[in-house]
Structure formats: C-alpha cells, structure tokens
Chain A
Amino acid sequence: MIEVRWHGRGGQGAVTSVELLAVAAIAAGKYAQGFPSFGPERRGAPVAAFTRIDDKKINVRSGIYEPDVVLILDSSLIGLVNVTDGLKPNGKVIVNTNRSPEEIRRELDFKGTVATVDGTGIARKEMGVPIANTTMIGALLKVTGVMELDAMKDSVEHRFGRIAQKNLNAMKRAYDEIKISN
C-alpha cells in the first residue's frame, strides 16, 4: 500500500486531486481511498488531504501518520508546516517549485527522494491559471509509478469536461519535466 499526504492551501485543489486520483485508481482496478483532513477549511489556510492506493482491499480507516510520499502544492508551506512529519526515512517528497531538488533537500534536511517541478508555471502555460493541483498528479505518478498517466484520462474528463485536455496536457508536462534526486 502507498500512502500519500498532500499539503496545500484552502482553494488550491488538494481535495479535488485526491478525489481524481482515487477515482482513477479504482477505475484501473485498484483499491483506493481519497479523503480530506476532516473539518472546516478556509481559503488560503494550510490544509492536508490524503490518498491510499493498494492492490488489495484497504481496511484501515484511521488517519495517515507515516506517509510514503508527501506532495507539497505550495512551497511557501515549507517551514510553516512540518511537511516531513512522520514521513518514512526512505520516503519521497514532491514539491511544486522552480527550485532544484538539492536546494529543497537541504532546506528539509531529508535523506530520501526529493523531486521538484514548476507545477504553477506549467499550469499557467497550459491552462492559463496558477492552480497546479491536477498538474502535480503527473509529478506524483512519475515519482511513485503507482499507475500509468493514461489511467487519469477518464476521471479528469468526467470532472472537467471541455477543459479536461488542458489539465491532461499539464499533467503530462509535469510527468516529463520533474527532476528527481534520489
């Protein structure tokens, strides 16, 4: 089982992403859970959302405390929120930033995998908006290999209709452009 914790700010679409990812994983024949950090959330405030994906039925329903992967939608949260809290020592951190993985590694003092991609820049170019939640799904799939990028197609089309292709394009670019430091 892979457990992912997403960090973002209210309004950046972390909850939408965990939903899209879980629906796509289930459609691909896997078992998945996607859920928000329960409770009231405010635009701009730090939020978290969670994904579990497995090949067999998932029974656990408590929170995720020792994630395999942490995905940071907003790099301004680094230092503000303890983003690596509980992250497995051999885990992976994926950050939406134009900085290098090495720079982020030094800042987080983390020895596992660190990967960065300018998700906001890609989202701006591909969709005309600085919202990188769907873009960063591409980054997550590249770094984890949990499923094929193509598996996202149906769930993104169902959710976004005529603007789905732009989201898929952005996802593909993040998949291709992400820099990974092991």
Chain B
Amino acid sequence: MGKRMGMEVAMAVAEAVGLCNIDMAAVYPITPQSHIAEHLSDLVANGEVDAEFVTVESEHSAMSAVIGASGTGARSYTATSSQGLMYMHELLPIASAMRLPITMAIANRAVSGPLNILNDHSDIMPQRDSGWISIFVENGQEAIDMSIIAFKIAEHQDVMLPVNINIDGFQLTHMVEPFEMPSQEEVNKFLPPFVPHATLHPAKPVTMGAFAMSDYFPEIMKAKDEALKNSKKVVVDVFNEWGKMFGRNYKLVETYKTDDAEVIMLTMGSMGETAQMAIDQLRAKGIKAGLVKLRLWRPFPFEEIKAVIKNAKKLIVTDRAISFGGPGGPVFSEIKSAMYAETQRPLIYNYIYGLGGRDVPVGDFIGMFERVIADTANQLADTYEFWGVRE
C-alpha cells in the first residue's frame, strides 16, 4: 500500500523515480530542479536505488548521456530547468527521432534575460516542436504519479518516445505538502521492465541516429509525427490503468464546473488549483464560470479540448510564456487554431500572466473573469493582454 506523507515535492519526485527501477540517471543540478538531482544522487550513493548516476558537467552532456544509455536499453532519466533545458535543446529532437523512451522532469523556470530563477513556462515552450510527449502537473501528487506513469507511456511498444513532465519551479518543487507515495511493490506491478526495440551492443552492432538526406528524411519526419499523434491513445490507456490501480484518475483535459459554464478559463500547471478557488467564488455570486486544465501539451488533445469548450460563450486562455511579436501566448495560438474550423465556438481571450514568478492570487483570476464578462462589445476577444504588468 502507498503511504500518506509530507515532503518537499522535488525530493518526492526523486523518491518516485527511485521506485521505477531506473538503470541510469544523468542530471546536472540547476535551480529549482536541484533538489531532484541532489536527492536522486543521494538515493543512488546510499545504495537505495541500484542505478548508475552519471555526474556530467552540463545539461548538454546530461541529455547526451541519457540518449546513449537509452540506446543501450537502459531505463534512463534526467531533469532540468530553464537555461539547462535551453542548453539541451539541440539534442531533444534527436532523442525523439531515435525513438528513445527517456523521461525528464522539467522544474519550469523563466528563461534569461534578465536572469530570473522563478517559475513560468518560457523554458518548455521553445521545446514544443522537439517531438516529445509533454505533460503538465498541478500539485505534488501529480508530480509523483506522472514521474512513474511517464516511463510506462514512453516505453510502450506503440510509443517509444521521450516524455517530459513539467513541474512548476518553486510553486511545486519547493513546497512541502501531503501526498501518497506508492510502494515499491505497487510500482513493480504497474511498470514492467523496459523492452527496447534494438540495443547498442558490441556483439551485435547496429546504427542509431544514422545519416539521412532527402531520400529518407521526410519519411522519418512523417513517421515521427504519426508516432507522436498515435501516442495519445496510449497516454489515455496508461492513465486509466493508473486510475484502476491507485484510484487517482487522470484525463488529458480536466474540467471543473464546465457543464453549464458560460465563461471558461484554461490553465496549465500549478495555477489550476488557485483558479479553481476563483471559480467557486464566482459561482457563489451567480456567475456561470468553469475551468479547464490542460494536462497533455503534446500530443495536443484537439478533440478533448473542443468537446469541453465548444458550448461556452467566452474562453479565457492563460499563458505563462510569450510568443514575442506573434499572435499571443503559445497555448492561446494552439486553442485558436484548434477552434478555427468549428462553427460553434466561444470568443477566445488571452491573458499572459505569472511571468518570472509573479504571484497570481485568487483575486487576479476573478479580475480576469470580470474584465472578460464586462467586454460586452467583444473588443478584447481574439487578442492578448498582459495581466498585472505595470506600464
């Protein structure tokens, strides 16, 4: 049986990964991911986790090391943040093109400059098109659960793709909070051993990540796109399996009081629970407000999103990153394009908020709803605004 306990979430993530029978980890410490790196290396050094912990000199090497290790058939893990993720960037599409089921925690943090160590989503957004499965979590329990679930999704024979788990830096990583930690027996039962398609071995040489010019390159890209799209079904299946075993049910898109909602807000990550409190307060005032929480960022769950927002009059998409000089936040552009061909769709608003760790209390979410509801002439729809930014 799992155990209810309290611990800092970053350390709990390391504990959860430690239950996954990993063969190796290569992690370069960076705030606010550091406690994952430190605690996992402690677990390995203390002999509690039987794995190779490779102490690399950079994130570029960390990702290179897990790519190599995964190629040999080792269950491989890494974690990073912000500049570390940016430094890994050129290797991310290689991991997915080689169909290596690496998993990586990202303790989301703003990208420089100016230098900032606090939370937003500007580190993961530039990695969007790397061909990784990308999951966001809302609290410590989800961070733990998804850290385990990610291996099963990644290593599924119909998937074989890397997965990143986005855990808001500080707001989640540095929070001591309660959760249930699964037992080793439970994780063993849930997560079967990794069976690779092919392995790098001197006795039976193969080539991975080979050269491909125009003769094969487009076919490989199409195959990768199809693999990522097809992974959605497996993500759903694995979530369901987890739900049956642990009683915690996850969907690609979570909803809160959306059934009769006229105005819906959409969040990703740790803002969800605070926004949920705003929904309750608005409902108490008779406003039909609802909340959609997007858990799966890639592959993007088009059908699931459409189904839950299409009946609303107005949708407020919140973003914690900017596409500079573009159409608004990255989540906003995605939702807008998803709804473009729909005859029945809400007016879509966009707030960019919580950048570089700027706190967003309940009242701010209520303020966004009030501003959107007051926009009876629909002048603010289809465009974006920065929330709570001095001018």
Indicate, yes or no, whether A interacts with B: yes
Closest beta carbon of chain B to A21's beta carbon, Å: 9
CB pair A61–B276 under 8 Å, yes or no, is no
A26 to B7, CA, bound (A): 9
A42 to B7, CA, bound (A): 24
Chain A residue contacts of B241, Cβ below 8 A: none
CB pair A39–B117 under 8 Å, yes or no, is yes
CB pair A38–B7 under 8 Å, yes or no, is no
A36 to B117, CA, bound (A): 14
CB pair A38–B170 under 8 Å, yes or no, is yes
Interface: B357 (CB within 8 A):
yes
A116 to B255, CA, bound (A): 47
Within the complex, which residue of A31, A32, A59 is in contact with B273, where a contact is CB–CB below 8 Å? A59
Interface: A18 (CB within 8 A):
yes
CB pair B176–A62 under 8 Å, yes or no, is no
Which B residues from 209 to 232 make CB contacts under 8 A with A? none
Q: A27-B5, A60-B362 are in contact. Are A40 and B117 (CB under 8 A)?
A: yes
Interface: A35 (CB within 8 A):
yes
User: Which B residue's beta carbon lies closest to that of A23?
Assistant: B6
CB pair A59–B177 under 8 Å, yes or no, is no
Interface: A112 (CB within 8 A):
no
CB pair A63–B4 under 8 Å, yes or no, is no
Within the complex, which residue of A19, A25, A62 is in contact with B360, where a contact is CB–CB below 8 Å? A62
CB pair A59–B277 under 8 Å, yes or no, is yes
Tally inter-chain residue pairs, CB-CB below 8 A. 68
Number of interface residues of A (CB under 8 A): 23
Within the complex, which residue of A27, A33, A39 is in contact with B177, where a contact is CB–CB below 8 Å? A33
Q: A60-B277, A61-B270 are in contact. Are A22 and B359 (CB under 8 A)?
A: no
Interface: A160 (CB within 8 A):
no
CB pair B178–A32 under 8 Å, yes or no, is yes
Q: A27-B5, A39-B117, A65-B361 are in contact. Are A60 and B274 (CB under 8 A)?
A: yes
Q: A18-B176, A38-B357 are in contact. Are A32 and B6 (CB under 8 A)?
A: yes
Q: Which of A26, A27, A62 has the most CB of B within 10 A?
A: A62
A58 to B140, CA, bound (A): 12
Interface: A13 (CB within 8 A):
no
Closest beta carbon of chain B to A38's beta carbon, Å: 4
Within the complex, which residue of A36, A62, A65 is in contact with B174, where a contact is CB–CB below 8 Å? A36
CB pair B359–A19 under 8 Å, yes or no, is no
Closest beta carbon of chain A to B179's beta carbon, Å: 9
Chain A residue contacts of B177, Cβ below 8 A: 22, 26, 31-34, 58
CB pair B362–A33 under 8 Å, yes or no, is no
Chain A residue contacts of B174, Cβ below 8 A: 35-36, 38
Chain A residue contacts of B271, Cβ below 8 A: 61
User: Which A residue's beta carbon lies closest to that of B7?
Assistant: A23
Interface flags, A38-61, vs B, CB<8A=1, else 0: 111000000000000000001111
CB pair A27–B6 under 8 Å, yes or no, is yes
Chain B residue contacts of A39, Cβ below 8 A: 117-118, 357
Interface: B21 (CB within 8 A):
no
Interface: B171 (CB within 8 A):
yes
Within the complex, which residue of A26, A32, A35 is in contact with B4, where a contact is CB–CB below 8 Å? A26
A3 to B277, CA, bound (A): 17
CB pair A32–B176 under 8 Å, yes or no, is yes
Interface: B8 (CB within 8 A):
yes
Interface: B94 (CB within 8 A):
no
Chain B residue contacts of A19, Cβ below 8 A: 8, 176
Interface flags, B36-49, vs A, CB<8A=1, else 0: 00000000000000
Which B residues from 281 to 323 make CB contacts under 8 A with A? none
Interface: B175 (CB within 8 A):
yes
Which B residues from 263 to 278 make CB contacts under 8 A with A? 270-271, 273-274, 276-277
Chain A residue contacts of B8, Cβ below 8 A: 19
Closest beta carbon of chain A to B119's beta carbon, Å: 8
Chain A residue contacts of B274, Cβ below 8 A: 59-62
Closest beta carbon of chain A to B190's beta carbon, Å: 24
User: Which B residue's beta carbon lies closest to that of A35?
Assistant: B175
| A-B contacts, 14 listed (Cβ < 8 Å) | A18-B176, A19-B176, A23-B7, A26-B177, A27-B6, A33-B176, A36-B174, A38-B171, A38-B357, A39-B357, A40-B117, A59-B274, A60-B277, A62-B359
Residues of B at under 8 Å CB distance from A? 4-8, 117-119, 170-171, 174-178, 270-271, 273-274, 276-277, 357, 359-362
Known pairs A32-B6, A59-B277 / 15 extra A-B pairs, C-beta < 8 Å: A23-B176, A27-B5, A27-B6, A32-B176, A32-B177, A33-B175, A35-B174, A36-B174, A38-B171, A38-B174, A59-B274, A60-B274, A61-B175, A61-B270, A61-B271
